[in-house]
């Protein structure tokens, strides 16, 4: 099986190093990207491509349980950050 | 008698210390404290009759303390047991006690800074947390700061008056101290009842009421301490050179004042920004 066949189909990467969150505890990194994605969408609309970067980041970084918890909180209006742009 | 001889030698002691006569208060107070502690735990965990046990323990503890301190006053003022050496021992005792209180406050301040310096994402990653409206530090808290600092000045004035034999000045100083202390307490009670958040409102509420509440209890205790000294002053218990209980109360009161300053700066001002 050749590596080049696979690598041409899938680009495997995760969120890059963010100097704002240099330590082992990456909770804030996940949370910040989640918040930034929805603020970005609120400001620029869902079709604005650069917003997708935040979405990719939080999907990589955050445990799925957290993502569904955050989504539920947003629906209930209890998400603990302002998502206004 | 004009001399000491072998027959009456046993009536005298050749050391400056006070060997206290047997007293029931220490053991009584220890059981009262245990009752209060168990009552408090029961009450906070919802067990039946917890509140009653807590109240019983509290009343027993208060009376036990009152009776013990009454005996100390009798020994010092009426029986003459408090030589200079004994006075110094009592002074060291109150100093060490205040040091232990400092550590107690250090723990609540630690808890406050732990939660506020790196706010959790569950509260929005900000301090004050999302949804919390803190009190305006430049309203009642600033007034309270002025009240406490002034009361510290009044008590120092009163103390100096006492040392200089100025009875009227000493009584006035102590009275104004107590007055301002009571006004502080009333204003804090008002703030507590009008605040937009309770102790259950996130770690903000918990750390706010734990720290300011512990301080408030100390203000109440300190007020009682100063009041006892005030009453003793009026009743001619104190002299210009011998007034350990009064000095202890004053020291305790200054400690309460300093803790408030830290609270005002850290919890009210910085914590509310």
> What was the pLDDT predicted at A3?
56
Domain identity same for B113 and B197: yes
B244-263 and B140-163 are packed helices; what angle lies between their axes, rounded to 10 degrees?
160
Residue B129 touches partner A, C-beta closer than 8 Å? yes
Q: Do residues B196 and B133 lie in contact, with contact meaning Cβ atoms separated by under 8 Å?
A: yes
Domain boundary among B61, B81, B101: B81
CATH number of B167's domain: 1.20.120.80
Domain identity same for B67 and B95: no
* CB within 8 Å: A81 and B130: yes
Banded model confidence at residue B230, pLDDT cuts 50, 70, 90: very high
Overall number of domains in chain B: 2
Banded model confidence at residue A4, pLDDT cuts 50, 70, 90: low
In a domain, B47, yes or no: yes
In a domain, B123, yes or no: yes
Mutation test of the interface with chain B: which of A69, A80, A83, choosing the one with the most B Cβ atoms within 10 A? Answer: A80
Residue B122 touches partner A, C-beta closer than 8 Å? yes
Domain boundary among B56, B81, B106: B81
> What was the pLDDT predicted at A2?
55
Q: Residue B137: which of B260, B259, B257 has the closest Cα?
A: B260
Residue B119 touches partner A, C-beta closer than 8 Å? no
CATH number of B69's domain: 1.10.287.70
pLDDT in tens, B83-110: 999 999 999 999 999 999 999 999 999 9
Domain boundary among B81, B101, B125: B81
Domain identity same for B29 and B91: no
> What was the pLDDT predicted at A7?
59
In a domain, B164, yes or no: yes
In a domain, B130, yes or no: yes
- Residue B98 tokens read as 């205040």
Domain identity same for B171 and B252: yes
Banded model confidence at residue A83, pLDDT cuts 50, 70, 90: confident
pLDDT in tens, A15-55: 999 999 999 999 999 999 999 999 999 999 999 999 999 99
Domain identity same for B112 and B49: no
Please report the number of interchain residue pairs, chain A to chain B, with beta-carbon separation below 8 angstroms.
19
In a domain, B256, yes or no: yes
Host domain of residue B45:
23-81
Domain identity same for B72 and B130: no
In a domain, B40, yes or no: yes
- Compute the mean pLDDT over every residue in chain B, rounded to the nearest whole number: 96
Domain identity same for B113 and B178: yes
Share of chain B above pLDDT 70, in %: 100
Residue B66 touches partner A, C-beta closer than 8 Å? no
pLDDT at A1 over 80: no
Residue B150, C-beta contacts closer than 8 angstroms, at least 6 positions apart: B180
Read off the pLDDT of each residue in B41-70 and give the average, rounded to a whole number. Answer: 97
> What was the pLDDT predicted at B11?
82
Domain identity same for B104 and B201: yes
Domain identity same for B175 and B223: yes
In a domain, B116, yes or no: yes
Read off the pLDDT of each residue in B213-225 and give the average, rounded to a whole number. Answer: 98
pLDDT at B23 over 60: yes
Domain identity same for B69 and B113: no
In a domain, B8, yes or no: no
Domain identity same for B123 and B52: no
Please tell me the distance from the alpha carbon of residue B218 to that of residue B223, in angstroms, as a whole number. 8
pTM of the entire predicted model: 0.91
Domain identity same for B251 and B237: yes
């Amino acid at each position: 099986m050749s590596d080049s066949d696979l690598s041409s189909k899938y680009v495997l990467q995760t969120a890059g190093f963010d100097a704002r969150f240099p330590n082992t505890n990456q909770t804030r990194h996940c949370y910040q990207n989640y918040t930034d994605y929805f603020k970005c969408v609120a400001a620029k609309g869902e079709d604005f491509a650069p917003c997708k970067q935040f979405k990719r980041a939080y999907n990589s970084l955050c445990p799925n349980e957290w993502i569904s918890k955050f989504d539920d909180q947003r629906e209930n209006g209890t998400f603990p950050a302002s998502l206004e742009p | 008698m004009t001399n000491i001889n072998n027959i009456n030698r046993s009536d005298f002691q050749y050391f400056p210390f006070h060997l206290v006569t047997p007293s029931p208060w220490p053991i009584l107070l220890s059981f009262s404290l245990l009752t209060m502690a168990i009552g408090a735990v029961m009450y906070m965990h919802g067990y039946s009759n917890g509140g009653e046990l807590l109240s019983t323990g509290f009343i027993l503890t208060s009376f036990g303390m009152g009776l013990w301190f009454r005996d100390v006053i009798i020994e010092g003022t009426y029986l003459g047991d408090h030589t200079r050496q004994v006075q110094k021992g009592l002074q060291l005792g109150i100093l060490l006690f205040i040091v232990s209180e400092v550590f107690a406050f250090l723990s609540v301040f630690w808890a406050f800074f732990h939660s506020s310096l790196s706010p959790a994402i569950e509260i929005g990653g900000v301090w004050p947390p999302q949804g919390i409206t803190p009190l305006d530090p430049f309203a009642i808290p600033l007034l309270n700061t002025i009240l406490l600092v002034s009361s510290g000045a009044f008590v120092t004035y009163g103390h100096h008056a006492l040392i200089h034999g100025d009875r009227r000045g000493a009584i006035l100083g102590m009275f104004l101290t107590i007055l301002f202390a009571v006004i502080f307490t009333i204003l804090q009670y008002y703030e507590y009842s009008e605040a937009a958040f309770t102790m259950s409102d996130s770690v903000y509420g918990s750390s706010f009421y734990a720290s300011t509440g512990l301080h408030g209890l100390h203000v109440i205790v300190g007020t009682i301490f100063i009041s006892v000294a005030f009453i003793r002053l009026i009743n001619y218990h104190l002299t210009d050179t011998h007034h350990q209980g009064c000095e202890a109360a004053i020291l305790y009161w200054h400690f309460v004042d300093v803790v408030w300053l830290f609270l005002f700066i850290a919890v009210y001002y910085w914590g509310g920004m």
